[in-house]
Every structure is written in structure tokens, then in C-alpha cells.
Amino acid sequence: MLKKTVVAGLAALFVTASSLAYAQDHSAAGPGQEQWRPSAADLNALTDARVAVVKAALQLTPDQAKYWPAVEEAIRANAMARYTRLAGLAARVREQRDTDPIELLRRRADNLAQRAAGLKQLADAWQPLYETLTPEQKQRMRFLAKGVLHILQGAAEYRRMQMQDEDDED
């Protein structure tokens, strides 16, 4: 029963994440037209699905559940920070193509520092809950993390290729 729940949840997560990542068909947007970008509501719905999958897969005990609100808050804060960074990047790309390379490096460094701080907060939120997990729960968590990371890496690689295509067209 649990395996079916986890597999169904992961399938829903993968389909949703993949559709958001690949929905930005570059060829569909003509000159002067904006590409579709997920809205805050879209990303909130995806975050809701991810949170639900993780919580369902872990099957927390009542004692463990008291640690969950901090974890969920950190997951949501990390997702919102990512959305904000990407929206800012998209706005800067639309505004100007000829950017000072030194300024680009500084912005990139700032973004990486923000991401690092967010990941540290996420790890700090997970730590107390993780320490209470059974070996089976830890195994399910590793399985989920590995699957999600694989999807995110694929989406990031796809986006990098799109950006290279944009640069080649200029």
C-alpha cells in the first residue's frame, strides 16, 4: 500500500514538475512575444504537491509530526525565494542584453549566497525531524530526494540549453 502511494505521488510530482519545466517551448513565442512562465500560483501548487508527497511518504508518527511545521515552512520559503530569484533574472534579461560582466558576476555571487543561506535553513529545519526518523523513513526520504534532484537537474539542463540557443540567435 505504501509503495503504491509513494509511486503515485512521485508520478504526480514528476509529471507536474516536468510539465512546468518543459512548458516553456522556445519556438512557440514569436518575436516580441513573451514565453509562458509559471506564475506564483503555479509554483505554489507545485510546492503543495511536493510537500504532500514528502509528508505522505514519510508517514510521520504523532511525535514526529510536531517537527513537520518548521520543515514545511522552510520548504515553502525556499520555493518562494527561488521563484523570486528567477523572476528577477527574467526581468533583467528582458531589460537589457548588454550587461556588464562584472555586474553579472556580482549578481550571481549574491544569488548563490542567498541560495546557500536558504539551503542551510532548510537543513536546519529538517535536522530535528530527521533524527527521529526510522531507517525505513530515511530510506524513503533518500528515494524522494534522489528522484526530485534528478528532475531538477534535467530541468536546469534544459533551461541552460534554451539560454544558449537564445545567445546563439543574437
Confidence (pTM) = 0.66
Cell numbers of 108, please? 550571481
Cell numbers linked to 57: 511518504
> What mean pLDDT do residues 22-44 have?
59
Taking the C-alpha atoms of residue 83 and residue 47, their distance in angstroms, rounded to an integer, is: 11
Percent helix, strand, coil in the chain (nearest 5)?
A: 85, 0, 15
Residue of 68 and 168 predicted with greater confidence: 68
Burial environment of residue 41 by CB neighbours within 10 A (0 to 12, 13 to 18, 19 or more): exposed
Please name the residue that has the C-alpha cell 505554489.
44
Are the C-beta atoms of 52 and 9 separated by less than 8 Å? yes
* pLDDT for position 133: 97
pLDDT at position 39 is 80
pLDDT of 100 reads: 83
What is the structure's pLDDT at 103?
Answer: 85
Return the domain boundaries, the chain: 2-15+35-169
Q: Which of 149, 152, 144, 111 is nearest to 18 (CA)?
A: 152
The band of 24, judged by pLDDT with boundaries at 50, 70 and 90, is: very low
Give the per-residue pLDDT at 21. 45
Query: Above 80 in pLDDT, residue 34?
Result: no
pLDDT, tens digit, for every residue of 42-92?
888 989 998 999 999 999 999 999 999 999 999 999 999 988 888 887 777
pLDDT at residue 3, as a whole number: 58
pLDDT at 123: 94
Q: What is the pLDDT of residues 95-148, one digit of tens each?
A: 766 678 898 889 889 989 999 999 999 999 999 999 999 999 999 999 888 877
